[in-house]
Structure 1
Amino acid sequence: MIDVQRLRVLRAVAEHGSFNQAAAALHLTPSAVSQHVAVLERSLGAQVVARSTRGITLTQAGRIMVQAAESIAAELAHAKQQVDQLSTGRTQLTIATFTSGGRFLLPGALAQLTAAHPRTVLHVREAEPEDSLPLVREGAVDLALAYHFDGPLPGQVSQNSSMEWTALMEDPLYVVLPEGHRLAGRSVLDIAELATEPWVLGCLKTEAYLQRYAERAGFDPEMRGTTTDYFFARSLVAAGLGISLIPSIALAPEVPGVRAVPIEEPGPTRHLGVATISRRRDHPRLATLINALQEQAAALDDT
C-alpha cells in the first residue's frame, strides 16, 4: 500500500527540486526525505526521481505519483470541508484572486453566488497566480481567479494536471502617457516608438513582460520605477516620471493628467481565467460562481 506521507514528501521534492530544500520545508532531515523516496520507489517497483549533480528531476512514474498526491491532498481538504458542513449545515468556499481581477470581477460574481446559495460561507484571499494555483492544487482554496501572459497556460495547469483552467477574458495592456506627451494624441502605438522613453511599472511581472516585447523591438527599456500598484504607477506617470504599461481592467478609476493608448496588434495581453480541481468544477456552488464570473467578464468586455 502506498503511504500518503511518502506522497507528501515526493510532492515537496518535486516542488523544491532537491532533497535538502524539501527537507527544510517539511522540517525533516535530508536523510529522512531520501529514505521516504527510496521506500516509495521500492513499493512501486519504479524509480520516481532521477538524481544528478544538477539536482532532482521527476521520472514519468514520479510525475504520475505527484499528480496522484495533488489529487489526494485536494480530496482530503474537500472531505474536511464536508465533515465541517455536517456540524454547521453551511458550505464553505475559499477563493483566491489577484488584485485587479478581484476588484472588477469578483464582487458581482460573489453577490450572485450568495443570492443563489445563501448558506454558503465565503472566504477570499489575495494571491498572485504563482501562489494561488498551488493552493488550488493542494485543496487549500476551491477556486483561483488568475491570469497568464501570452503563451501557454500557467505551469501548474496542464493536460496531465488535476486542475482545470476556464478562460474568462483577454485583458490587453495599454501604454499610459502624461496628457501632454507628444504621443498622447495617437489612436494606437507601436511599442518600438517608445524605445527612448523612461518607464514606471505597476507590477514586477509586467516589467519582465515589457522586457520581452522591448527585446523583440530592438531596445532596452529604461526603468525609472517599479511599484506593486497600477494606480500608483499611473500617478507617477501623471507626475512626469515616465510612461507605463497597464492592463485594461486596471485603468479605472481615472487618474487626471494621463492618457491610455492601445498598442498595435498583436500587442501584449493578459489572459484571465479560473483554476479549479477538475473533479470539483461541476459542484453546484463552484459552477454558479464560475458562470457568474463569466457573466461579469463578458459585461466588462462589452464596455
Structure 2
Amino acid sequence: MIDVQRLRVLRAVAEHGSFNRAADALRLTPSAVSQHVAALERSLGARVVARSTRGATLTRAGRVMVGAAESVAAELEHARRQVDRLAGGRTRLTVATFTSGGRLLLPDALARLTAAHPDTEVHIREAEPESSLPLVRQGTADLALAYRFDGPLPGRLGPDSGLAWEGLLEDPLHAVLREDHPLAAREEVDLAELAGEPWVLGCLKTEAYLRRFAEQAGFAPEVRGTTTDYFFARSLVAAGTGISLVPSIALAPPVPGVRTVPIAPPAPTRLFGVVTRARHDLPHVRTLVAALKEQAARRETV
C-alpha cells in the first residue's frame, strides 16, 4: 500500500522544485524528505524524482503519482468537509474567483444559493486562475470562477485532471482612448490602426495577449506601463500616458476624459468559465453553478 504521507512529500517536491524548499514548506529536514521519496520509489519499483545540482524534477512515473496525490488529497478534504457537515449541521462552500468575474456574477448567484440552501456557509477566496485551479484540484475550493484568453487554462485541465470546465460568457476587450484621440469617435477600430501608440495596461496577461494580437496585425506594441488594476490603467489613459486594452466588464465605473472603442473582428476576447471537481456532484455546488450560468446568460442578453 502506498503511504499517503509519502505522496504529500512528493507533491511538495513537485511544487517547490527541490528537497530543501519542500522540507521548509513541510517543516521537515531535507534528509527526511529524501527518505520519504526513496521509500516511495522502493515501494513502486520506479524513480519518481530526477535529482540534479539544479534541483529536483519529476520523472514520468513521478508525474503520474503527483496526479494521484492530488486526487487523494482532494478526496480526503471532501470527506473532512462531509464529516464537519454531519457534526455541525452546516455545509461549507468555498469559491475561488478572480476579482472582476466575481464582482459581475457572484453576488446574485450567491443570493440564490443561500435561498435554496440556507445551511450553507460560504467562503470566498480571491485568486487568479493559475492559483484557483489548484485549489479546486486539491479540494481546498469547491469551484472557481476562472478565465482564459486564446490559450489553455493554466495547469492541467482535461479528462485526466479531475476538473471540469463549463463556459459562462465571452468578454471582448476594447480599446480605451483619450476623448480627444483621432479614433475616439469611431464605432470600432482595427488593432493595426493603433500601431505606434504607447500602451498602458491593467494586467500582465493582457500585455502578453496584446503582443500576440499585435504581431498578427504586423506591429510590436510599445508598452509604457502595466498595472494590476484596469481602473488605474484607464486613469493613466485620461492623463495622456497612452492608450489601453480593457475587458468589457472592467469598463465600469466610467473614467472621465476617455472613450471606449470596440476592436474590429477578430477581436481579442476573454472567456469566462466555472471549474469544479469532475466527480463531486454536490447539491449546493450544482445550485451555484446553475445560478452563475443564469447570471451569465442575463449579462449576454443585456
Question: What is the TM-score with the length of structure 2 in the denominator?
Answer: 0.93
In structure 2, the partner of 1:265 is 265
Please name the residue that 2:8 is paired with. Answer: 8
C-alpha offsets along residues 150-198 of structure 1, whole Å, 9 cap, x if unaligned? 1223323233212222221121111111111111122222222212111
2:191 matched to which residue of 1?
191
Q: Secondary structure at the match of 2:242?
A: coil
The residue identity in structure 1 corresponding to 2:170 is E
Listed as ranges, the gaps of 5+ residues in structure 2 are: none
Q: Map 1:24-43 to 2 at 5 A.
A: 24-43=24-43
Output the CA distance in 2 between the equivalents of 1:18 and 1:268: 38
* % identical aligned pairs: 73
The 1:93/1:237 distance shift into structure 2, 3 A limit, reads same
User: Are the aligned partners of 1:67 and 1:162 in contact in 2 as well (CA < 8 Å)?
Assistant: no
Contact 2:195 2:221 in 1 (8 A): yes
The range that moved more, 201-210 or 219-228, is 219-228
| Counterpart for residue 158 of structure 2 | 158
1:200-255 C-alpha deviation (Å, 9 max, x unpaired):
11112212222222333343322232221112211221222211111111112222
Q: Is the contact made by 2:133 and 2:155 (CA closer than 8 Å) also made in structure 1? A: no
**Corresponding residue number in structure 2 for 1:117:** 117
Matches of 1:60 and 1:288 in 2, distance apart?
38
Match for residue 297 of structure 1? 296
Q: Are 2:216 and 1:216 equivalent residues in the alignment?
A: yes
Letter in 2 for 1:105: L
Shift of 1:59: 3.0
- Partner Cα distance (2:159, 2:34) in 1: 29
Q: Partner of 1:267: helix, strand, or coil?
A: coil
Tell me whether 288-297 or 130-139 shows the greater mean CA deviation. 130-139
SS in 2 for 1:61: helix
RMSD: 1.8
- Superposition pairs for residues 21-170 of structure 1, below 5 Å? 21-52=21-52, 55-170=55-170
The separation in 2 between residues aligned to 1:45 and 1:265, in whole angstroms, is 55
Q: Which residue of 2 aligns with 1:241?
A: 241
SS in 2 for 1:279: coil
TM-score, structure 1 normalization: 0.93
DSSP 3-state at the match of 1:192: helix
Task: Check 1:159–1:49 CA distance in 2 against 1; reply closer, same or farther (3 A cut).
Answer: farther
Aligned to 1:283: 282
Q: Distance in 2 between matches of 1:295 and 1:198?
A: 39
Q: Cα distance, 1:64 vs. partner?
A: 2.2
| Distance change (3 Å), C-alpha of 1:159 and 1:18 | farther
Task: Name the SS of the counterpart of 1:215 in structure 2.
Answer: helix
Q: Tell me, which stretches of 5 or more residues in structure 1 are unaligned? A: none
Shift in Å, 1:145: 0.7
The CA deviation string for residues 40-85 of structure 1, in whole angstroms up to 9 with x for no partner, is 1111122223345655433332222111111111121122212221
